[in-house]
Structure 1
Amino acid sequence: MVRASLLAALLLALAACSRDGALEPFAESQVPATLTPRFYPPEGWAWGFIGVGDKPVQRYGVASTRRVPTAIVVIVPGYGETAEMWFETASDLIGAGRTVWVLDRAGQGGSGRYVGPRDLGHVPSFDPDVAALRELVRIVIRPSPDTPLVILSHADGVVVALSAVRAGMKVDGVVASSPRLARSDPARRLLGAVRRSEAAPAGWKPWTRETADDRAGGATHDIWRGLVGQAWRTTNPDLRMSGPSLGWTKAYEVASRLIETGARQTRTEVVMINATGDAEALCANLPSCRTEAIPGAGAALHLEADRWRAPWLTDVEDFIATRLEARRLAAVSADQSKP
């Protein structure tokens, strides 16, 4: 019954989107001819959509190990990223025995858009992202009591992940890779009061083939991984993304402040890798959070050269291993307490 309701909601959402092709969700991306197999979709990769209420649907992808999975990892990308940019990392995690899900952010990647043009990132708030993540876990994934579930977030994705945990999503832990919180800007707040929230900021430019790739933008040192995002966007116009709207930036600020004020109520294990500034301060206020440093790395650790990416992946796997052990010990303790 639940799955039938979800399907009905999805069909209605797709019908609504079809009135304006620029706003439609997008799956089945074409693999760029310039990429090598390590950047291809993991074996068995499948796409799906999830919709909450009357909001545009969000795209997710999933693949799993051929063995019984030892853990579930849900990846929450940062602004402007698509699930395709995480294929290599997903394959690594699947090879280690995990089931991997990637949820495209609201109004980005293959998800439906709130406004046009398609490459203008806009949401009225971060609530749709939070609701979609919670429902993906609760209704679609439905993890068993024996399988730990870990959220792997990147950049501003940490705000979505921790907001969902604070709202009651049950997970075993959160990895925050290069976490970023928004800074308050009084001048921008005044500007936002004058202009429509879905408007682009002054100087906004649409995506073009000349838009800097991740290496040119300083997010990674690796020439090949730095080209991955650009390759997917060049081949698949529906995935293209430029800068955010005024409303998206405001929503990011509001969600960041709520996370900071509610830090003590965010009760789950968290590790932040290469946290700086406000994110590092947030970690200090969370009930159970620690930081790891990988000096010299760019912000896109999943796309970094092996010198930095290898220790990052080890940190991620080590955290998953601690969650597995915590589950095992909890099960042993529960058995011993039985009469």
Structure 2
Amino acid sequence: MKIFQCQACEQPLHFEHARCESCERPVGYDPLRTDLVALEPEGEAWRAFAEPASRYRLCANAGFGACNWLVPAASGESYCLACRHNRVVPDLSVDWNLVRWREIEVAKRRLFYSMLRMNLPLADRRSDPAGLAFDFLVDPSEAHLLGPPVLTGHDNGLITLNLAEADDVERERRRTLFGEHYRTLLGHFRHEIGHYFWNVLVRHDPCLPRFRAVFGDERADYGLALQRHYAHGPGEGWQEHFVSSYATSHPWEDFAETWAHYMHIVDTLETASSFGLRVEPKLRTGLDLGARIDLDPYRHEFGRLIEAWLPLTFAMNSLNRSMGQSDLYPFRLTPSVIGKLSFVHDRIAARPDSNDSIADTLRALIAGLRQRVASPRYA
């Protein structure tokens, strides 16, 4: 994520801001410009402070305090590029649902920021029955109803997320229960979207034999693989070949975990680059752990990303430990794992790429290391 500034007063802004804290102007995110836009009212619409010819409307979910993305005023859409993929949202008349849903939408918009920067195909359910859609559901037990618990997962383009994952206490309980090093809303989204893009970029692509050579044969029985994983856990020495314990369960989960980590790397490197970070550890001798983080990770070759990432994570983890916190990035990138990350990078890089490709894709949507949906309804 890059740094944003108010175009009216130059105040630094976070991606989630809907109003400048200095000049108090409303701001909104324009995915076509990949920037937060300072706004001035103009009738029932808004115009850009720095570019008065640009007219916008707020996403309909802004009314719930759940979205700060913009819709072109000339568009017939009520929802922004991210929110129009919502299929089911919780009953927002329940205050606790609204609080948790807002947290979910923050993470989802960060997901969409990266996907749009990567120029990934994002069909919705109106244009493709298997297009990307989201159901954000509440466990029946919360309403004292009978029924199975909501399971976070992916099914043919539909990503379901249990609203309880937006509760920090409950999410930490589950992280501990399942013996995970890392569990966040954004991590959930990045993992589940990995399943979606396996279908889109791998399943019917000539790269499938290479996928099987790198990750294993996905035709192995998925249900039995998960049962075996939960009964016996990962095999000995799994850390040399998998980025997480869960990745060992099945090639699909290995790919999704690897995809999520690739998105972690790219987004964090962009942030570090935006801050001009340099890592120059004062070591007597040994490995060169220095790096100048000055790159656009969405456009650089994979090796350059890894060269920057390894020193950065060493520094981040060291800082966290100085604050009495556990490692911010508690994972090992072995040569085998880096090879898998390289596969993900290559699949994304294989998408059409030109100076105007992102803008062209967005306009269309608006209109209709190698080893070195429809509008939301309530439920």
Task: Give the greater-gyration-radius structure (CA).
Answer: 2
Q: Same fold (TM over 0.5)?
A: no
- What TM-score comes out, normalization by structure 1 length? 0.27
- What TM-score comes out, normalization by structure 2 length? 0.25
